[in-house]
Structure 1
Amino acid sequence: MARFSVTYRVFAGDAAEARARAEAIALEQTVEVPRDVVPEGLIADEIVGQIEEIGTEGEGRFRATISYSPESAGHEMTQFLNVIFGNSSIQKGLKVIGIDPGAEMLARHPGPRFGIEGIRALVGRPKGGMIAPVLKPQGLDADALARIGYLCARAGADVVKEDHGITDQATAPFRERVEKTAAAVARANAETGGHSLYFPSLAGQPQEIETNIRFAKEAGADGLLIMPGLLGFGVVDRIARDESLSMPIMTHPSFLGPFVLSDDTGFSHGMMFGTLQRLAGADISVFPNVGGRFGFSAEECGEIADACRAPDGPGRAMLPSPGGGMSVERAAGMASMYGEDVVYLLGGSLLRLGEDIGEGINAMRAALDAAEAAQG
């Protein structure tokens, strides 16, 4: 059975220490017992992680690639992630910088159901960057949010996405909000012949999540916005693999910041917001844009976009979705940086326009089209 492998950046004083740390990771991520008490046979030969390669990155930094048995990971996304970086995530000086899921784990977790081409087919935009206005702020009632959704869809937004902070508050309860906004977006599409997709923010107590997923589907939502840092990557995986739902997924980075903000712990930006989202089954991955209020660099954003779209990544390539600081004035620079396969989030800059929000969407569309045309 094909093993999967994880590459860690190991901070150590020398190669001997790096190897010792890699050996400890191989045990910690699987059997969690000292080497001398590992049972012989299957457990020692297959279950325990195996060091495949150790190399030097720079002074005090090494790369250790460790392979694991699919039998250790099982069939659950949660256990897969647990093997990748469970207990070892609690240690300092370790960072996940690469994952090769191998054929067996890809069969168990095939990734995005739609991916770039599938989303393009749904929105009817065969080329060019896509636009996703955000329904907010928190505190508006369901009718007000639905009205914004209608105006956005009528203006030709590709995706009408709810803000992640709008969940099941009393001002706009999940089910009322989803019903009204789905109907409003559908009405706008009928009037214009457009194909705007509506992605509500999945909400509810743990015992309500499953019924709320089904409710959203039956109410006419086209996809779902999921916060895997709060709801779990397993929820993303569950929705992506459900053929009866057949709903695209947009993931949001809320609560995931600590996984990437340290130089010597957690995950690289590309791994967290690219590779892991693809493994779980996301079709669109939201992340903080360079120049916004969160401080991701151009290099980090480029790494994320590359991981989302890499042809050798897990499953179908998916769409990066930078948000924050987006404006008509930045459209040319963003188009140059991200290319065409991208979903741009537009929030506060549009909401200033009130009932004229459609004019802002049209202006952004024109700016993107002009920038992409100029690039050839």
Structure 2
Amino acid sequence: MAADLIRVTYRIECEGDVAQMASRIASDQSTGTFTELPGETDDIRRRCAARVESVIALPPADHPSFPHSGTGGPVNRGDAVIAYPLDAIGTDFAALMTITVGGVFAIRGLTGIRVMDFDLPEAFASHPGPQFGIDGSRRLTGVAQGPIIASIIKPSLGLAPDETAHLVAELCEAGVDFIKDDEKLMSPAYSPLSARVAAIMPVIRDHEQRTGKRVMYAFGISSADPDRMMRNHDLVADAGGNAAVVNINSIGIGGMSFLRKRSRLCLHAHRNGWDILTRHPGLGMEFRAYQKIWRLLGVDQFQINGIRAKYWEPDDSFVRSFHDCMTPIFSPADRPLPVVCSGQWGGQAVETYQRTGRTLDLMYLGGGGIHGHPMGPAAGVRAIRQAWVAAEQGTTLETAAKTQPELAASLAKFGGDAA
């Protein structure tokens, strides 16, 4: 039955027959090994053996993805779906990663392999998923509709707690909905988390008392020690904070599971390190597969780069990531808030709006695009909001900038090629 199977799609690359390699993967990663086994009975295979369900041939590659693999000439490629019995793995993600991912990359004869997708049965809905997600993020920021406009503490490292608090006050006055520690900022000696919380939370509360708006602030709480991470979490929550930045690859699956089960905070996931898994197209893991694990573990907000981001990722990859996050796994409640980031200044708003399906269910995160605005951070925030109004109205940024000096200044400094 489909409900009893975990299906994994692999993009296989090898000099030999792709279907035969898929069969070898299915055997090696379940009940078989390099030779026949007297104990591998029909009953064991029926209950626990993985099976190849389909193989779709792809155009061959000119060169192997793995270095020093084979002859170095053209290699065969194909997408294979392998079904693993749920009884052989269960719903623990450590077991899933060990059996369906961990050993696959060691198989002899492969010149490349990439995990493209997981099709998980309903049993995985037992994982908690987002505690807040899209609706909770809107509730906590007070933004009922439209993009949630956000900023990052810049410079990323080096500011003392009182300097950070001063910048937070400036950003609150500028009109942002959300502020976050940079992912690199956790609890360094010059700015321990306890001192940062003590300096920043009074600023957040004062702004709320004066204006009625509570700006959401996400503190960096990540730690390799789950107990220390929970102490960091409690420090923020007990001080009235409502969000945390979590470096998901650094804390790992176990750390995320431990945190989510006890969390009172909205968890803003930074995926730094994902590029190690995905930057080579013939290796690693597609974001479509990767994000399902972290969503079910409980991230509420998910950073996914953006259009014309400052990093390597192509725009098409960002668009796929956005739609992956917005596609329910088991229900709409398991969708995290997509966070558009990495070099965003407003000039990408129109294309972002168009290519993400004209949705406003997103956070638009500007660092240098706000702090580096020639008229100051408040003008940087206004310019981004002006850009998003133009996107919704179907107006080009150049046309909107004719009557809005903040947007005009952004176009002049950061680039005038965004229509």
Q: TM-score range by the shorter chain?
A: 0.7 to 0.9
Alignment match, 1:363:
383
Partner of residue 69 from structure 1, selected from 73, 85, 92: 85
* Residue 346 of structure 1 pairs with residue 366 of structure 2: yes
| Structure of greater Rg | 2
The yes-or-no answer on 1:372 pairing with 2:392 is yes
Alignment-derived partner of residue 145 in structure 1: 164
Q: Could you tell me which residue of structure 2 aligns to residue 4 of structure 1?
A: 6
Worse overlay, 256-265 or 55-64: 55-64
Change (3 A) 1:355 1:43: farther
* Farther off after superposition, 331-340 or 95-104: 331-340
Question: Are 1:120 and 1:126, in contact at CA under 8 Å, matched by a contact in 2?
Answer: yes
Which amino acid in 1 is paired with 2:189? Answer: A
Q: In structure 1, what residue type is equivalent to 2:345?
A: S
Match of 1:54?
Answer: 55
Letter of the structure 1 residue corresponding to residue 246 of structure 2: I
Cα RMSD between the aligned structures?
Answer: 2.6
Query: Is contact 1:130-1:342 (8 Å) kept?
Result: yes
**Kept in 1: contact 2:4–2:87 (CA 8 A):** no
Q: Partners in 2 of 1:354 and 1:32 — Cα distance? A: 64
Q: Distance in 1 between matches of 2:133 and 2:43?
A: 38
Paired AA for residue 297 in structure 1: P
Counterpart position of 1:22: 22
The verdict on how the C-alpha distance between 1:237 and 1:204 changes in structure 2, with shifts beyond 3 A counting, is closer
Give the counterpart of 1:228 among 226, 242, 248: 248
The aligned counterpart of 2:399 is: none
**What amino acid does structure 1 have at the position aligned with 2:18?**
A
Displacement of 1:326: 1.0
Distance 1:126 1:32, change over 3 A: farther
Q: Give how far 1:74 is off.
A: 4.0
Query: Secondary structure at the residue paired with 1:345?
Result: strand
Aligned residue for 1:93? Answer: 112
| 1:61–1:189 distance in 2 versus 1, CA, 3 Å | farther
Deviation readout 1:64-99 (Å, 9 max, x if unpaired): 112223344345433333233112245551111111
Tell whether 2:349 aligns with 1:331: yes
1:212 equivalenced with 2:214 (yes/no): no
Alpha-carbon deviation of 1:202?
1.6
> 1:303-314 alignment to 2 at 5 Å?
303-312=320-329
Q: Match for residue 202 of structure 1?
A: 221
1:358 CA drift (Å):
2.8
Distance 1:214 1:366 in 2: 38
**Cα separation, 2, equivalents of 1:90 and 1:183:** 53
Counterpart Cα distance in 1 of 2:20 and 2:161: 57
CA shift at 1:182, angstroms?
A: 3.0
Unmatched segments (≥5 aa) in structure 2:
61-75, 396-419
The 1-side partners of 2:35 and 2:26 are apart by 10
Opposite residue 148 of structure 1, the aligned amino acid is L
**Change over 3 Å in CA distance of 1:228–1:129 after alignment to 2:** same
Contact 2:125 2:330 in 1 (8 A): no
- Percent same amino acid among aligned pairs? 22
The letter of the residue matching 2:59 is G
For structure 1, the residue ranges without an aligned partner over 5 or more in a row are none
Q: Residues of 2 paired with 1:147 and 1:305: CA distance?
A: 33
**In structure 2, what residue type is equivalent to 1:67?**
A
Q: Decide which moves more: 150-159 or 299-308.
A: 150-159
**What is the distance in 1 between the residues matched to 2:184 and 2:374?**
20
Task: Count the aligned residue pairs.
Answer: 369
Whole-angstrom distance in 2 between the partners of 1:19 and 1:8: 11
Give the TM-score of the pair, scaled to structure 1: 0.88
Classify 1:191/1:253 alpha carbon distance in 2 versus 1 (closer, same or farther; 3 Å): same
Instruction: Judge conservation of contact 2:307–2:351 (CA < 8 Å) in 1.
Output: no
Task: Return the offset for 1:252.
Answer: 1.0
| TM-score (norm. length: structure 2) | 0.80
Q: CA distance change for structure 1 residues 135 and 3 in 2, over 3 Å: closer, same or farther?
A: same
- Please report how far the alpha carbon of residue 32 of structure 1 lies from its aligned counterpart in structure 2 after TM superposition: 6.9
Q: Which amino acid in the other structure matches residue 299 of structure 2?
A: A
Give the match for residue 253 of structure 1: 271
Tell me how far 1:324 sits from its aligned partner: 1.9
The residue number in structure 2 matching 1:299 is: 316
Greater CA deviation, 69-78 or 192-201? 69-78
**SS of residue paired to 1:259:** helix
Q: Which moved more, 1:148-157 or 1:289-298?
A: 148-157
Residue 162 (structure 1) shift: 0.8
Distance 1:157 1:71, change over 3 A: farther
Give the C-alpha shift of residue 193 in structure 1.
1.3
Counterpart secondary structure, 1:165: coil
- Structure 1 segments (4+ residues) deviating >4 Å: 312-315, 353-356
2:45 is matched by which residue type in structure 1? A
CA distance in 2, matches of 1:239, 1:35: 43
Tell me by how many angstroms 1:297 deviates: 1.0
Q: Deviations over 1:168-203 (max 9, x none)?
A: 111111222133223322322232211321111123
